[in-house]
Amino acid sequence: MQVVLLVGGMGTRLRPLTYDTPKPLLPVLNRPLVAHILERLPKRVDEVLLTVSYRSDDLREWIRTSDDPSLDGRTVHVIDEPEPLGTAGAVKNCTDRLDDTFLVLNGDLVSDLDIGAHIETHGKRGAAGSLALHAVEEVSRFGVVDWTPATGRIHAFVEKPAPGTEPSRYVNAGAYVLEPEVLDLIPEGRPVSLEHEVFPRLVEDVHGLYGFPFKGLWIDCGTPASYLDIHEALLDRADIHNLIGPGTGYDAERMKVEASVVGAGVKLGDGVRLDRSVVHDGAVIGAGVRLVRSVIGRKAQVAPRCVLTDVVVGPGSVVQAPEPLEGVRVGMRDPST
């Protein structure tokens, strides 16, 4: 079975971390985000179409050189999109390769969805399309459905409804099983959105659109805060306190590390205190530095005794701050973004 993975975004809200790393390759627990997504796929999903418009060569290089187990037994093709085609346009662009029921996944989510059960339920219902659904409190940031849980049938799909007009608490969790006939509903030659154009039309189709609700973990990786939340949730689920890569000189007697992840070859100075933070490979954290809910990019340097709270430091940037820093991004190339 084939999966179209939608990873066309530029990861703008995660800058400066995404300047030289596409979002799918951002390390999550010291492993690319995309590996966490691929490892959730059942074995029968053995062909992956990665639709990419930003830094696609980095992804090709990773696929070629990585020995990550999520790639075992799968063929991965990188499908270039010189201009973003929208979520439906990206799927349409794969038409020549799609020959049967297929899966589509948003590439910025980590979740507990049982994809195998989702595919099976879709098949039993004979639906044209099935969406994984998750119940949330703040629904208006998402695609929201009006549906009948008893039958699974979706009656309406509204992308990011105005607050107060949401039809339910069930939102589109970014995982779809689709029949090839859905490709016929996607016009060619212009960007098209699944959420704005295709799903609202599928609702009217005889075979229709169905929902597959699931509970448990469901987090997107869109912002530094959610990037940190993913780490906290995955550490918690794996029941590990910290994850510290090789070659860091970590010494529990002289440093305090809480719910944090440290990459390979990081230099940790004496008296360092890390609290719910993530440090990428090769960074240098000076003596006495305190990090709270902060992300330090690859090979960045934080001078001794700096105190950073809710700070993102870009790859290769240097921080030397006599006063505590809070809520800033260091290393932005265009401060207006």
In the complex, least distance from residue 90 CB atom to ligand GDD, rounded to whole angstroms: 3
- Count the site residues for ligand GDD by CB under 6 A: 24
- Contact segment (CB under 6 A) with ligand GDD among 84-92, 121-129, 225-233, 320-328 equals 84-92
Does 108 help bind Mg ion (rule: CB under 5 A)? yes
CB closer to Mg ion, 12 vs 75: 12
**Residue 267 and residue 251 in contact, taking contact as beta carbons nearer than 8 Å:** no
- How many Å is the Cα radius of gyration of the chain? 21
Q: With left for phi above 0 and alpha for psi between -120 and 50, is residue 180 left, alpha or beta?
A: alpha
Contacts 24+ apart (CB under 8 A), 119-127: 119/1, 119/42, 119/177, 121/152, 121/210, 121/212, 122/177, 122/210, 122/212, 125/152, 125/210, 126/207, 127/152, 127/177, 127/179, 127/207, 127/208, 127/209, 127/210
Min dist. Cβ of residue 223 to ligand GDD (A)? 11
Residues in 184-243 at the binding interface with ligand GDD, rule: CB under 6 A: 195, 220
The residue from 17, 37, 81, 176 that contacts ligand GDD (CB under 6 A) is 81
Q: Rule CB under 6 A: say whether 174 interacts with ligand GDD.
A: yes
Residues 99-158 that bind ligand GDD (CB under 6 A): 106-109, 142-143
* Candidate list 2, 8, 121, 210; residue touching ligand GDD; CB under 6 A: 8
- Contact criterion met (CB below 8 Å) for 314 and 19: yes
For residue 22, the partner it binds in Mg ion, ligand GDD, none, with Cβ less than 5 to 8 A by kind, is none
Residues contributing to the site for ligand GDD (CB under 6 A): 6-9, 51, 53, 81, 84-87, 90, 106-109, 142-143, 159, 171-172, 174, 195, 220
